Amino acid sequence: MVSVTRPATPEAPVVAPPVSERPAPPRPDPAGSRLAAWWHGSLRVRVISITTLVGLALAAMLGTVLYQQIGEGLVAQAVDNAQRDASQQVALAQEAFDSTDRRDDTGLSLAADNQMQSMAGGSAEEGRRVVLWPALDNERGAPISGRSLGANVTDIPEGLREALRADPTNQHVVVVPMSLAGQEEQVTSVVVGSRVSLVRAGAYDLFLVYPLLREQETLDLVRQLFVAAGIALTLLVAGVGWLATRMVTRPVEEAAVVSHQLALGHLDERLPVQGTDELAQLATSFNTMADSIQLQIRELRSLSQLQQRFVSDVSHELRTPLTTIRMAGEILYASREDFTMPVGRSAELLQQELDRFEELLTELLEISRYDSGAATIERHREDVVALVRAAVDGVGALADRLGSELVVRAPAEPVAVLMDGRRVSRVLRNLLSNAVEHGEGRPVVVSVSATEQVVAVSVHDHGIGLDEQQQAHVFDRFWRADPSRDRTTGGTGLGLAIAQEDARVHGGWLQVGSAPGVGTCFRLVLPRQATYVIAEPPPPVGHPAGQHGADHDHQVPPVVLALATQGEEQP
């Protein structure tokens, strides 16, 4: 029983346009992509980069340690020199203060100014800086005001003055930034504090400031030298890394090129062997492996050709005795009514097996043509809807006998496809007969959908279904899902394998989706023109979800079209 249904308003199936017409997807960051491809695409780049970074890190660590040690040494030496010089200057200042007239405050102030000027040197911007300030424990009212030459008393740490009050007999030293005359920014300086006594004025703190200008210049020069040396060391490490990796990666690159040529079928390519080191041993082993692979491939090719020729020759040679046997069988079959019951039944069985034997020979010849690459297709513009209906009519008797309803969902208008109608009809008959045989008497849905570039034909049954392992072998030759199951149509086990090759030679795909106990869906997807082929597998087929199958399987799946290779027939 066959029922044909047509949708009132056919849905517009979705299909991806050809490669040249597809909108460009959003591109990622080109700089990041190029950097990632550059990093992952070259072993030499990774080795040199890592070696350079490690060398740069070691140079930075070594330079930092040495720079700190040099700086600490310069500061320690400057502090030692400042303490010795300050001891002499304080002694001279105390002697000058002691020899000053005790009754004249003006003379005492003048002596203090002269002494500070003497300690500062010829220029306050170049020599020592001097600060003379009343001590914190001076209880005489400080008749001589505090004064400074070249330095700011506010920069003197309060802790230094406290230390002088607690221990006035010793020197106290600090290294702090100071705002000095003639300098725009604060300068790290050694400040030496000592206690002096002025007649009638009491205790005063004398601070001698020694700017570390020369030491800073020395450190700047050292830092410049370290930076230059670090850059030179990094370049040297990068050069050594490049040379070392070149010695190792060049043979590897040659091996990659040769292996790629071998993969393309150029089996005579070999690696050059130079020297006797490990790389030479690797090249020798690689060449030995290539020789072995070449020999095995040649043997396999020879064996494959022998097998193909054997199948083809046997199939051809069997046709002559088969024709004779068929003629004799037809005579016996026509006279079966004149025989006894056992002999008549034997004539009927002989006729059935002769039909199956002839079908097997035909399919073996077809498989041998595909294996040898001799299969050709004759494309004509035909209506795929008409082919589907003809195939449905062809299995109608089998469907009526097994109680399966055939439901056709197809557009009302013709769907023209440039194809080999004989091969496509064979695919459809095979799919329909399998669906009816395994449909358990339930409806079988055949749906046709099309776009401007692609047509899809889906065949749903609601029978026993296939698990994932069975789906992986469903297109294997002579494979059967259940060998113990009786076959109504007497198939040979080559139908689906030939159907898949028929789809492939048209530039299309034959796919299967199934689930145990739910049913099976086979989907044939073909380009409507010989100009294009379906370059990538379409999305997976979903198993039937209800009586009439899943809705999305009645539409053309999104596909990627590519231009057909040279030699394909043009419309």
CA atoms within 13 A on the CB side of 286: 22
Highest mean pLDDT among 244-253, 360-369, 442-451: 442-451
For the structural domain made of 42-266, what CATH number should be given?
A: 3.30.450.20
Phi, psi of 2 (to 5 degrees): -125, 130
Residue 448's pLDDT is 92
pLDDT of residue 20: 41
Q: What is the pLDDT of residue 247?
A: 79
Domain boundaries, the chain: 2-16+377-563, 42-266, 278-357
Q: Can you give the pLDDT at residue 311?
A: 67
pLDDT of residue 457: 93
- On the question of pLDDT at 17 being above 60, the answer is no
180 DSSP 8-state letter: B
pLDDT reported for residue 372: 66
Q: What is the pLDDT of residue 240?
A: 84
- What is the model's pLDDT at position 173? 92
pLDDT value at residue 7: 41
Looking at residue 255, its pLDDT comes to 81
CB 406 within 8 A of CB 441: no
Dump pLDDT digits (tens) for 72-128: 898 899 899 989 988 988 888 888 888 776 566 677 788 788 888 888 875 544 578
Q: What is the distance in angstroms between the CA of the first residue and the CA of the last residue of the chain?
A: 37
Q: Are 389 and 408 spatial neighbours (Cβ–Cβ below 8 Å)? A: yes
CA atoms within 13 A on the CB side of 517: 0
Residues 416, 368: Cα–Cα separation, whole Å: 30
**pLDDT confidence bin for 525, thresholds 50/70/90:** very high
Please provide the DSSP assignment of 16-58 as one string: PPBTTTSPPPPP--HHHHHHHHHHHT-HHHHHHHHHHHHHHHH
Most confident of 164-173, 299-308, 328-337, 554-563: 164-173
Q: What is the pLDDT of residue 24?
A: 46
Stronger pLDDT, 356 or 407, i.e. the higher one: 407
Residues 488-518: tens digit of each pLDDT: 445 567 778 888 888 888 889 999 988 888 8
d(CA 384, CA 425): 9
Q: How confident is the model at residue 470 (pLDDT cuts 50, 70, 90)?
A: confident
Least confident interval from 63-77, 128-142, 216-230:
128-142
The answer to whether the CB of 416 falls within 8 A of the CB of 528 is yes
Answer whether residue 275 shows pLDDT above 70. Answer: yes
Nearest 5°: the CA angle 410, 413, 414 is 85
Separation of CA 57 from chain center: 28
b/e for 273-310, b at 16 or more Cβ within 10 A?
eeeeeebeeebeebbeebeeeeeeeeeeeeeeeeebee
Contacts 24+ apart (CB under 8 A), 481-487: 481/438, 487/437
pLDDT of residue 8: 38
Percent of the chain topping pLDDT 70:
82
Report the range out of 241-245, 497-501, 526-530 with the highest average pLDDT: 526-530
Residue 463 DSSP SS3: coil
Does the structure show a pLDDT above 50 at 58?
yes
3-state DSSP assignment of residue 204: strand
Which of these ranges, 16-25, 174-183, 314-323, has the smallest mean pLDDT?
16-25
The pLDDT of residue 318: 74
Task: Give the C-alpha separation, 500 to 506, whole Å.
Answer: 10
CA dihedral 111, 117, 119, 123 (to 10 degrees): -170
Whole-angstrom distance, CA of residue 182 vs CA of residue 186: 10
pLDDT greater than 70 at residue 417:
yes
User: Can you give the three-state secondary structure of 255-319, one letter per residue?
Assistant: HHHHHHHHHCCCCCCCCCCCCCCHHHHHHHHHHHHHHHHHHHHHHHHHHHHHHHHHHHHHHHHHH
Return the percentage of the chain with pLDDT > 90, whole number: 10
- Spell out the SS3 assignment of 120-159: HCCCCCCCCEEEEEECCCCCCCCCCCCEEECECHHHCCHH
Select the more confidently predicted residue: 484 or 567. 484
pLDDT of residue 456: 92
Confidence at residue 93, expressed as pLDDT on a 0 to 100 scale: 85
Mean pLDDT throughout 57-73?
Answer: 87
Give the whole-angstrom CA distance, residue 135 versus residue 164.
8
Distance separating alpha carbons of residues 17 and 260, to the nearest angstrom: 33
Rounded average pLDDT over 188-197: 90
What pLDDT is recorded for position 373?
A: 65
Percent helix, percent strand, percent coil in the chain, to nearest 5: 50, 15, 30
Closest residue by Cα to residue 395 from 426, 431, 432: 432
What is residue 554's predicted lDDT score, i.e. its pLDDT?
62
Q: What is the mean pLDDT of the chain?
A: 79
Residue type, 271: L
The pLDDT assigned to 293 comes to 85
Greater pLDDT, 343 or 308: 343
**pLDDT band (50, 70, 90) for residue 475:** confident
Query: Alpha helix (H) ranges present in 192-264?
Result: 213-263
Q: Are strands 406-409 and 416-419 parallel, antiparallel or unpaired?
A: unpaired
Overall average pLDDT of the 180-189 stretch: 82
Fold classification of 2-16+377-563 (topology level): Heat Shock Protein 90 (3.30.565)
Cβ-contact 224, 155 below 8 angstroms: no
How is residue 201 annotated by DSSP? T
Q: 193-202, 359-368, 541-550: lowest mean pLDDT where?
A: 541-550
In order of 35, 322, 323, 352, the CA distances from 347 in angstroms are 77, 15, 16, 9
pLDDT at 60 over 50: yes
Which amino acid is residue 261, in one-letter code? Q
